[in-house]
Structure formats: structure tokens, C-alpha cells
């Protein structure tokens, strides 16, 4: 069970256990067990932009491109970026909109709907499957995988995480086996025929890239839908303003609103690094080999940068927003994510008259230190 969120009329601040609001007023770097946690905006930004000192190679398992450093990271990042260009994302938008509209139209009105389970997860899974060319009958297995992956990550149990990762590998390897002719008819086949540094990608590398897209995409998109809907349902003034932007079809304004809503209540809490050399940061001395967490959610609410972290101001806060990270590992899926979230938001707002929090079931958060929203029951009018 997570902590409960009360249901007042203002945007609900995220759990202080997640963002360490109180802690980073006095202390931008803390220690939890044997791990350093960077909370301050300046400290998180500095570490993310210094990959020589703060390496991403934090585990034995090679994750492409997430766990790579230096030239190897750059080479694989070029491969990944090829699939996430503005043109490719624009090409996905009509199918994404059809999926979003069908989900919203299929939901009851004036009854409780659980946003993450009934909107976020099916939307993320169907959109991702369409992008990658995966069959619709895989939906059940993927939905189950998103849930189990989320639970395993939260548990911190490495055996569980490895089991879930292996299950995903088996799903992907079956899909790859079905594409024996390597004809590049969809993103998965195209990736199977792709190269890095002039040589073909290995099966291991293809599976890893697909796993990271899926792990990054499905859980985060579903959680982000929960955050956005929670924000609308707790804030009538902004819901009205966003309804007007959706009616006008103002894509740029809707996307910057989404980034700002996610800054206030960041569903993608943190990433890991390991120090490669002794370093001073936030008046603390970190030794070579020490583990370090970059807490994006905390940095996004640092009062040194955002006077009132709950104050919603997309234009003023855009340049300091760390929802998609910063530095060489900054999210390559940002354009795709913003398109997908804008489309589901547009369809949700234009196909309903209003969204309220459910009166009988409060929203629930994950336990700290994550503290992101776990369930968001709402009523569509
Ligand atoms: C709400 C949605 C998302 C959020 C908030 C988010 C956030 C982030 C952040 C903060 C990072 C930086 C990680 C680091 O510095 O270690 C990152 C990296 C990454 N993201 Fe996303 N992401 C989202 C969706 C996606 C999507 C849709 C995809 C792909 C289809 C994706 C793929 C990746 C990959 C592959 C990396 C690693 C990049 C690298 O190591 O160079 N993400 N994401």
C-alpha cells in the first residue's frame, strides 16, 4: 500500500519522501545506506553532464544505450536516435490518435475509472506495439510484464528484476524468430537489419535496445498519464485552460503544459551512476566506486531554482525542467513521449465534458523513496 493523497482543490504536491522537499532545502546531497543521493538541481545537472566522473555502467548487465559510457555510448545512441526523429514520430501520430480515441470512448461516464490501469497502460502498450510492429495479441503478456517490471524495480530485489528482464527477452526473441527474412517492414525488423560502427547488431544488442525502449516507454507513459489526469482533476482552473488549448489544437502549448505538470510531480524518479574518481559535490566527498543516485524528481522541485515548486508556469520553468534528464543520456524518447501524451490528453479533453477525482477512492502513491502515483481513480463526465 502506498501513502494516500488527500483530494483538495489545488495541485497535490508529491510525497516529500520522494522529492526530499524538506531535505534539500538544507542539504542537496544525502546518503542512504551505501548510496549517495543527489537532490539539488545544480548537483544533479552537474553529475548528469560529467559522464567521465559519473559513469552509467552501474551493473554487470549491459543495457543499451543506458549503461554505456563514452564512444561506445555515442555509437549506440546514434542507432537509437535514428528511430525517434521528429519525422518518424509525426508518422505515428494518426495511429496513436485512433488508439487514444478508442480507449476514451470505451470508458464509462459518471463512474469511477482507474486512470493508470484503464487508460495509461492500454494506451502505452497499444501505441508501443503499433510503433514497433508487434501483434495485438501480445497485449496481455506486455501488460503483465509492465506490472511485474514495475513491482520488481520497486522491490529492489535483483533476483526478481533479473527474472522479469529474462521473461521480456523470451517474448522478444520469439518475435525476432518470426521475422526470419529480416525484411524491414516495421521498426523491429529494421532494427534487426541495422548496424553499429559498420557491423550488424548482435541479437543480444537488439533485445537490449527493445527492452530499454519498452521498459522506458510503457511504465513511464502509463505513469505520466496518471500524473496529468490527477493534475487536471485536482485543479479546475488549469483543466479549463487546457480544455481551451485542446479545442484550439495548440500542440506546442499542450506539450509545454505536459512537461511542466510532469516537473511538479515527476513520475520518472531517478537514475543511477557510479563514481569513477574521487569528487566533491554539494560539500560532500564522494569516493571512487561509490554509488550515486540522480533524483530528477527532487531536482525538479528544488526551491533554489523553482521558488514555489508547486507553482505551475510552463514558460518560466521550461529551461530548468529535468523531466527528460540532461547530458549525453538525456531521453531520446522525449519527442515521442510528448506526442503520445499530447494526443491522449487531447482525446481525453475533447471527448469528455469534465474530469473529477473519484469521491469514494483517493489517489494512492507508491511508498517513499519513489512516491510516484500508483492509482488515480477519476470520474469522466
Ligand atoms: C514519461 C516518459 C519518459 C520519461 C519521463 C523519460 C525520462 C528519461 C530520463 C530522465 C532519462 C535519462 C536517464 C539517465 O540520464 O540515466 C531517459 C533516458 C532514456 N529514455 Fe526516456 N523517458 C520517458 C519515455 C521514454 C520513451 C518513450 C522512450 C523510447 C521509446 C525512452 C527511452 C529512453 C532511453 C533509451 C534512455 C537512455 C538514453 C541513454 O542512455 O543515452 N524514454 N529517459
- Is the C-beta atom of 331 inside 6 A of ligand 1? yes
**Cell numbers standing for residue 239:** 483543466
Cα–Cα distance list, 364 to 1, 2, 114, 334 (Å): 8, 6, 11, 26
Give the side-chain half-sphere CA count within 13 A for 331: 21
Residue with CA closest to ligand 1 atom 43: 331
pLDDT score of 277: 98
Distance in Å, CA 328 to ligand 1 centroid: 11
- Is the C-beta atom of 208 inside 6 A of ligand 1? no
pLDDT score of 11: 35
Residue 136 is given by DSSP the state G
- Is the C-beta atom of 325 inside 6 A of ligand 1? yes
Residue with CA closest to ligand 1 atom 3: 220
Nearest-angstrom CA–CA distance, 320 and 299: 9
Nearest-angstrom CA–CA distance, 64 and 131: 19
pLDDT score of 10: 33
pLDDT score of 7: 29
Q: Into which CATH architecture does domain 16-380 fall?
A: Orthogonal Bundle (1.10)
Nearest-angstrom CA–CA distance, 207 and 82: 17
pLDDT score of 218: 86
pLDDT score of 378: 98
- Is the C-beta atom of 266 inside 6 A of ligand 1? no
Residue with CA closest to ligand 1 atom 39: 329
**Cell numbers standing for residue 14:** 508529491
- Is the C-beta atom of 271 inside 6 A of ligand 1? yes
pLDDT score of 21: 64
pLDDT score of 3: 29
Kindly give the number of the ligand 1 atom that is closest to the alpha carbon of 341. 1
pLDDT score of 359: 95
pLDDT score of 19: 54
pLDDT score of 182: 56
Q: Where are the domains of the chain?
A: 16-380
pLDDT score of 335: 97
pLDDT score of 26: 66
pLDDT score of 16: 43
Which of 187, 331, 337, 342 is the best mutation target for the ligand 1 pocket, counting ligand atoms within 8 Å of the beta carbon and taking the most?
Answer: 331
Nearest-angstrom CA–CA distance, 276 and 250: 45
pLDDT score of 8: 30
Q: Burial of 179 by CB count in 10 Å (0-12 exposed, 13-18 middle, 19+ buried)?
A: middle
Q: Burial of 276 by CB count in 10 Å (0-12 exposed, 13-18 middle, 19+ buried)?
A: middle
Distance in Å, CA 240 to ligand 1 centroid: 30
- Is the C-beta atom of 212 inside 6 A of ligand 1? yes
Counting every residue, how long is the chain?
Answer: 381
203-234 vs 139-155: helix crossing angle, rounded to 10: 80
Report how far Cα 140 is from the mean position of its chain's Cα atoms.
21
**Cell numbers standing for residue 268:** 520518472
pLDDT score of 4: 26
Which candidate, 137, 127, 131, places its Cα nearest to that of 98? 127
Look at residue 251 and give its three-state secondary structure: helix
Cis peptide before 65 (omega within 30 of 0): yes
Helix (H) or strand (E) holding 272: strand 270-275
Which candidate, 185, 187, 157, places its Cα nearest to that of 172? 187
pLDDT score of 229: 98
Do 124 and 146 touch, CB atoms closer than 8 A?
yes
pLDDT score of 361: 94
Stretches where the chain sits below pLDDT 70 are 1-26, 180-183, 216
Distance in Å, CA 263 to ligand 1 centroid: 15
Q: Burial of 190 by CB count in 10 Å (0-12 exposed, 13-18 middle, 19+ buried)?
A: middle
Kindly give the number of the ligand 1 atom that is closest to the alpha carbon of 67. 40
pLDDT score of 370: 74
Kindly give the number of the ligand 1 atom that is closest to the alpha carbon of 336. 27
Residue with CA closest to ligand 1 atom 14: 329
pTM, two decimals, is 0.93
pLDDT score of 198: 95
pLDDT tens digit string along 318-343?
A: 999 999 999 999 999 999 999 999 99
Amino acid at each position: 500500500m502506498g501513502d494516500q493523497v488527500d483530494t483538495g482543490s489545488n495541485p497535490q504536491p508529491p510525497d516529500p519522501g520522494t522529492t526530499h522537499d524538506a531535505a534539500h532545502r538544507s542539504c542537496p546531497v544525502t546518503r542512504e545506506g551505501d548510496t549517495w543521493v543527489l537532490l539539488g538541481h545544480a548537483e544533479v545537472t552537474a553529475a548528469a553532464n560529467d559522464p567521465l566522473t559519473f559513469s552509467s555502467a552501474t551493473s554487470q548487465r549491459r543495457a543499451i544505450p543506458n549503461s554505456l559510457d563514452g564512444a561506445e555510448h555515442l555509437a549506440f545512441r546514434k542507432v537509437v536516435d535514428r528511430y525517434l526523429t521528429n519525422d518518424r514520430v509525426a508518422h505515428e501520430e494518426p495511429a496513436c490518435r485512433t488508439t487514444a480515441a478508442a480507449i476514451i470512448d470505451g470508458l464509462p461516464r459518471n463512474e469511477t475509472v482507474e486512470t493508470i490501469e484503464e487508460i495509461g497502460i492500454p494506451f502505452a502498450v497499444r501505441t508501443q506495439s503499433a510503433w514497433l510492429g508487434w501483434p495485438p495479441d501480445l497485449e496481455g503478456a506486455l501488460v503483465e510484464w509492465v506490472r511485474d517490471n514495475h513491482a520488481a524495480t520497486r522491490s529492489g530485489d535483483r533476483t526478481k528484476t533479473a527474472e522479469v528482464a529474462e521473461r521480456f527477452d523470451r517474448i522478444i526473441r520469439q518475435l525476432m524468430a518470426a521475422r526470419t527474412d529480416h525484411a524491414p517492414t516495421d521498426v523491429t525488423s529494421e532494427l534487426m537489419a541495422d548496424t553499429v560502427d559498420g557491423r550488424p547488431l548482435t541479437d543480444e544488442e537488439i533485445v537490449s535496445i527493445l527492452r530499454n525502449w519498452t521498459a522506458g516507454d510503457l511504465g513511464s507513459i502509463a505513469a505520466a498519464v496518471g500524473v496529468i489526469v490527477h493534475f487536471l482533476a485536482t485543479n479546475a482552473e488549469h483543466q479549463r485552460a487546457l480544455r481551451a488549448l485542446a479545442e484550439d489544437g495548440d500542440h506546442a502549448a499542450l506539450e509545454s503544459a505536459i512537461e511542466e505538470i510532469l516537473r511538479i510531480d515527476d513520475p520518472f524518479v531517478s537514475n543511477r551512476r557510479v563514481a569513477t574518481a574521487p569528487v566533491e559535490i554539494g560539500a560532500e566527498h564522494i569516493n571512487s566506486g561509490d554509488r550515486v543516485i540522480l533524483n530528477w524528481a527532487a531536482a525538479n522541485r528544488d526551491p533554489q531554482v523553482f521558488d514555489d515548486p508547486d507553482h505551475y508556469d510552463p514558460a518560466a520553468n521550461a529551461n530548468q525542467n529535468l523531466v527528460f534528464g540532461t547530458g549525453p543520456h538525456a531521453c531520446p524518447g522525449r519527442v515521442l513521449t510528448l506526442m503520445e501524451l499530447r494526443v491522449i490528453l487531447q482525446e481525453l479533453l475533447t471527448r469528455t465534458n469534465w474530469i473529477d477525482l473519484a469521491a469514494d477512492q483517493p489517489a494512492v502513491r507508491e511508498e517513499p523513496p519513489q512516491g510516484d502515483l500508483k492509482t488515480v481513480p477519476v470520474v469522466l463526465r
